[in-house]
Amino acid sequence: MAFEKMLQEHQERKEKTLAQGGPEKIKRQHEKGRLTARERIEKLLDQDTFMELGAFCTSDMPGMEERTPADSLICGYGYVEGRRIAIIANDFTVLASTNALVNLKKMLLFKKQVRMQGIPLIWLGEAGGARMPDGQGAKRIMSCGAGSDMHWAEYTHFRECPLIMAAMGECYGVADFEACAADFVVQVKGSAICVSGPRALGRAIGQTYSAEEMGGWEVHSKYTGMSDQVAEDEENCFHLIKEFLDYMPSNSSELPPRKPVPEGSEERMAKILDFFPENRRRAYDMHKIIECIVDGGTYLELKPDFGKMQITCLARINGHVVGIIASNPIINAGATDTDALDKQTSFQCLCDSYNIPLIFLIDTPGHLTGKDAEMKRVGAKVVNNIQSLFQVTVPKIVILIRKGYGQALINMAALGVGCDFMVAWPTAEISFMDPEIGADVVFGNLSAEEKKEKVKELVDDISPYAAAQGYGIQDVIHPMDTRDYLINVLNIIRESKNKGIGNHLLANWPTKY
């Protein structure tokens, strides 16, 4: 009977844990159009693959045991499309998933364990920040203090394993910090990512901003660059998580997974010049060029609404995962601003850490300068970007499409940073400055006819063949041969001594400025 009683107690405790914050709290969550943490885990993972750790954790505050199932944080292992992953989910139905001593300990030790195992970690975030009563007082706040390295796992991410953060509701405190460290952040519309919530902020400094104003999806997708993708709803969020994960290795010692090449991938190359104007002054959308080159015409763009004159995306060519950094001349003629430089730096760190070769498609007149740019530290951003580029150890492949001028040649790996392969289209222009601007600077005021002649002289001088004659570039290729060229190069990389696995010098480079 004693044994049966123990088993009955075990079942009752298990049921209390699975009940989360209770029917009323679950109902409130559903009324907001949101799933509970356990429902999210069930939706994301392959069926019946979740193994939970720490299910019987509760708050260590006297009298709070019954009110804090799993202490508001659910951790465990499962599979996503047959692939082993680790998962953490904030349970907002339990005290708004505020963090306290026990759930912090559980999270930190779990993260440390996952890092040692070398598998991706997915965090489904919705948390209200610190649980005030639990953290108040010197004794409690210092419980993880002197002599402890517990918080090392909270604030550091060496990009040994992919860390994916989904903001699915209010994400304050720890959830915000995890987003700052993550490799990929997807933000559901209606969610917010902030250091502190509006209520605490109002009490502390008297500011009365809404969560949406401080950390909504428009703030982080357009202005801070924190969010890599925005999801329309939770179902879309799960899709984006899986899409990103599909491009990632499980850890930094592996190559990304290779996939079969979709039928018809070669056919798009025949149309590539349909999207490229003959007139050198005309803008075009580089997305169309990328669609012609990559497998199936599909790719995952990161931070598409931040620094929009620079495209950063993950794709496949002949089944191999690649990272593409491309100028987009349809926005500011492709001239990069400080946001674009930050975005590029972040992407370089991601690709170098996970053994993804970088392809640079160049058509830029340079960097946006002027007073506004200087106020945003444009010089520092340029140098910071180059510093990271010097430390990229995965192969760098450069294709000069059209304009490649001055400092931007360095920032796009075409000059002085040791690119591995570099070719140009016949349309490429390589020089210190745009020839039209250069003609004005060098020759002063000219008539329209004189300027036309001087520009022609300068344009002839910046031909890619001039660069090819001195082996400044390795070849000039027909635009329609671009995909074949890249397939050959990627095969060379995969057949090399290190197989394309880098030294990961950027693994701890901070990318959220």
Is 276 domain-assigned? yes
276 and 201 in a common domain: no
Question: What 3-state DSSP class applies to 68?
Answer: coil
Whole-model pTM?
0.91
Is 177 domain-assigned? yes
**Which residues span the domain enclosing 174?**
31-144+161-247
Question: In sequence order, what are the residues at sequence separation of 6 or more whose Cβ sits closer than 8 angstroms to the Cβ of residue 347?
Answer: 302, 312, 323, 325
For 143, phi and psi rounded to 5 degrees?
A: -60, -30
Question: In sequence order, what are the residues at sequence separation of 6 or more whose Cβ sits closer than 8 angstroms to the Cβ of residue 496?
Answer: none
449 and 400 in a common domain: no
How far is 369 from 381, CA to CA, in rounded Å?
A: 12
**pLDDT tens track, the chain, 513 positions:** 588 889 999 999 999 999 999 999 999 999 999 999 999 999 999 999 999 999 999 988 888 889 999 999 999 999 999 999 999 999 999 998 988 889 988 999 999 999 999 999 999 999 988 787 776 666 556 665 444 555 656 677 889 999 999 999 999 988 999 999 999 999 999 999 998 776 666 555 666 778 888 899 999 999 999 999 999 999 999 999 999 999 999 999 999 999 999 999 999 999 999 999 988 889 999 999 999 999 999 999 999 999 999 999 999 999 999 999 999 999 999 989 999 999 999 999 999 999 999 999 999 988 878 888 888 888 898 899 999 999 999 999 999 999 998 888 999 998 878 899 999 999 999 987 666 665 555 566 667 776 667 666 666 678 899 999 999 999 999 999 999 999 999 999 999 988 889 999 999 888 775
Question: What 3-state DSSP class applies to 336?
Answer: strand
336 and 227 in a common domain: no
217 and 232 in a common domain: yes
213 and 280 in a common domain: no
94 and 211 in a common domain: yes
Instruction: Supply the CATH number for residue 279's domain.
Output: 3.90.226.10
Is 234 domain-assigned? yes
341 and 443 in a common domain: no
Instruction: Check residue 222 and report its DSSP letter.
Output: I
Is 24 domain-assigned? no
How many domains, in total, are found in the chain? 3
Number of residues assigned to the chain: 513
CA angle 409, 410, 412 (to 5 degrees): 65
Helix 435-443 × helix 448-461 angle, to 10°: 120
Is the alpha carbon torsion for 131, 134, 137, 142 positive or negative? negative
Q: What is the pLDDT of residue 462?
A: 82
303 and 168 in a common domain: no
Question: What 3-state DSSP class applies to 70?
Answer: helix
445 and 382 in a common domain: no
445 and 359 in a common domain: no
Structure tokens at 398: 């450069």
How would DSSP label each residue in 346-415? HHHHHHHHTT--EEEEEEE--B--SHHHHHTTHHHHHHHHHHHHHT--S-EEEEEEEEEETHHHHHTTSS
Q: What is the pLDDT of residue 131?
A: 82
Is 13 domain-assigned? no
294 and 236 in a common domain: no
Structure tokens at 390: 């010097």
Is 149 domain-assigned? no
How far is 320 from 318, CA to CA, in rounded Å?
A: 6
Q: Which of 247, 281, 307 is the last residue of a domain?
A: 247
In single-letter form, the type of residue at position 371 comes to K
Is 19 domain-assigned? no
Is 7 domain-assigned? no
237 and 276 in a common domain: no
